[in-house]
Amino acid sequence: MMNENENTQDQELNQFEENVENTAAEADDLNQKLAESNDRYTRLVAEFDNYKKRTSKEKLELMQSAGKDVIVKLLPVMDDFDRALGHMKDISDGDAIKQGVELVNNKFRKTMEQLGVKEMDVLGKPFDAEYQEAITSIPSPTPDMKDKVIDVIEKGYLLNDSVIRYAKVVVGQ
């Protein structure tokens, strides 16, 4: 009986020893995984920080370069102005001067159009508060002009189909 009892205890002891070893190995494994996970987190935090810094620098450059693109496209208009003003010195014929001005104006408009700028076409159209600002209203000259745009005080403009300036209009009552 004593031997059997001792044997059972030995077996239990072995079993416990094994369990302790397994659990210790598991703990080692977990410790390593935890260190890895923490390390991975720390690296991601650093990466995120770098990304944020780089991004804010990029944003600044982007803002400057986007404005720059528009400005560079307008330099030829300045050239045209210079040319027109140069020619104007030598001529006094009103019509010739007018022609020169119209050339510069056309170049300027075309450049603005290429940049996505579009003049609103509102005269005679029904008043639309989404695109127009009514400065005043006057009695409609004809009944069909009621609630329509009778005059444009300041032109409205769209940039790539969104309003950059409301048209300031006079509406018929």
- What is the footprint of its own copies within residues 107-146 (CB under 8 A)? 108-109, 112, 115, 117
CB atoms within 10 A of CB 134: 15
C-alpha span between 118 and 114 (Å, rounded): 9
Q: Per CB under 8 A, which region of 89-97, 123-131, 139-147 contacts its own copies?
A: 89-97
Show contacts with its own copies in window 26-45 (CB under 8 A).
26-27, 30-31, 33-34, 37-38, 40-41, 44-45
Closer residue to its own copies, CB minimum distance, 121 or 144: 121
Selected from 7, 17, 46, 110, the binder of its own copies by CB under 8 A is 17
Residue 1: both structure tokens together:
């009986």
147: left (phi over 0), alpha (psi -120 to 50) or beta: left
Question: CA-to-CA distance for 162 and 36, rounded, in angstroms?
Answer: 51
Task: Assess 7 for contact with its own copies (CB under 8 A).
Answer: no
